[in-house]
Amino acid sequence: MVRPEASYVQDGERWVPQLEGDLLPRLRISDLYKDLLGDSSADEQTRSYLKDRIRSARFLLHALERRQQTLQKLLEVIGRRQADYFDQGPSALHPMTMSEAAAEVGVHETTVSRAVANKYVRTPHGVVPLRFFFAAALGGVDGTAPAVANTRAKEILAEIVGRESSTKPYSDAALEEMLRERGIPVARRTIAKYRSELGILPTHLRRRS
């Protein structure tokens, strides 16, 4: 069962993340080890070992705290950048890369990639993986149309195929042209890739007599 890290709730015109309890377990350094370190009767080898362990523990706690702070900031960025998705649904998802999010949070792109790995959030449209919000942009033709997320391109592709004639299904070339007319330039090999991801068969297998 998927356990969401956070839920997005509406606060006026904003969508804000509310953490589902603590993202990290409550950890602390045992007082026993601190007391042993302060024990004047402890030999130097023991004291050196304890100092090293306590130093490592503090480093780990600091790293975990920074990771939680990064995730919190990332969730806030998603809330701002993808507000239309929360209001309207998947068709309103905006293009956003991990690199862009990393720049806003102030971390490296690989840090964002690790932060979203295997994490989910609850939205008005269901529980989705955090990676869902990072969709590549497909630019408009000659700048005449706004860029759209590739998830929207797939949605449009599914709509077109859903309305096609069963006796004369569209070829990938035709689908490519139809998307281009809508301001979404997609290569034919990308059409084939999207079809596969959507479970849409090739033209000759969709044709019925």
Residue 136: HSE in the Cβ half-sphere, 13 Å Cα cutoff: 8
Q: What is the pLDDT at residue 144?
A: 46
Do residue 120 and residue 158 come from a single domain? no
* Residue 178 phi, psi (nearest 5): -65, -40
Pick the closest to residue 53 from 33, 39, 31, 26 (CA basis). Answer: 33
What's the domain range around 68? 6-133
Answer with the one of 108, 133, 158 that is the final residue of a domain.
133
Residue 86 included in any domain: yes
9: Cβ contacts below 8 Å, ≥ 6 apart: 15, 16, 18
Q: Give the C-alpha separation, 169 to 202, whole Å.
A: 9
Inside any domain, residue 168: yes
Q: What is the pLDDT of residue 143?
A: 47
Q: Note whether residue 94 is domain-resident.
A: yes
- Assess whether 121 and 156 both reside in one domain: no
Relative orientation angle of helices 31-38 and 44-81, to the nearest 10 degrees: 140
Q: Which residues of the chain have pLDDT under 50?
A: 141-145
**Same structural domain, 43 and 129:** yes
Q: Does 27 lie in the same domain as 65?
A: yes
Q: Please tell me whether residues 20 and 116 are part of one structural domain.
A: yes
Q: Is 129 in the same domain as 153?
A: no
If one counts every other C-beta atom within 10 angstroms of the C-beta of residue 17, the result is: 20
Question: Do 97 and 152 lie in a common domain?
Answer: no
Predicted local confidence at residue 1, as pLDDT = 73
Residues 18 and 89 in one domain: yes
Q: Which of 133, 149, 165 finishes a domain?
A: 133
Is 183 a domain residue? yes
Is 122 in the same domain as 95? yes
Q: Considering the domain boundaries, does residue 114 fall inside one?
A: yes
Residue 181: CATH number of its domain:
1.10.10.60
125 within some domain: yes
Are 47 and 14 members of one domain? yes
pLDDT of residue 100: 92
The reply to whether 28 and 65 lie within a common domain is yes
pLDDT of residue 181: 84
11 domain-assigned:
yes
Residue 14 shares a structural domain with residue 107: yes
Q: What is the pLDDT of residue 26?
A: 65
Instruction: Give a yes or no: residue 1 inside a domain.
Output: no
Where a domain ends, among 104, 133, 162? Answer: 133
170 and 160 in contact (C-beta within 8 Å)?
yes
Look at the chain and report how many structural domains it folds into: 2
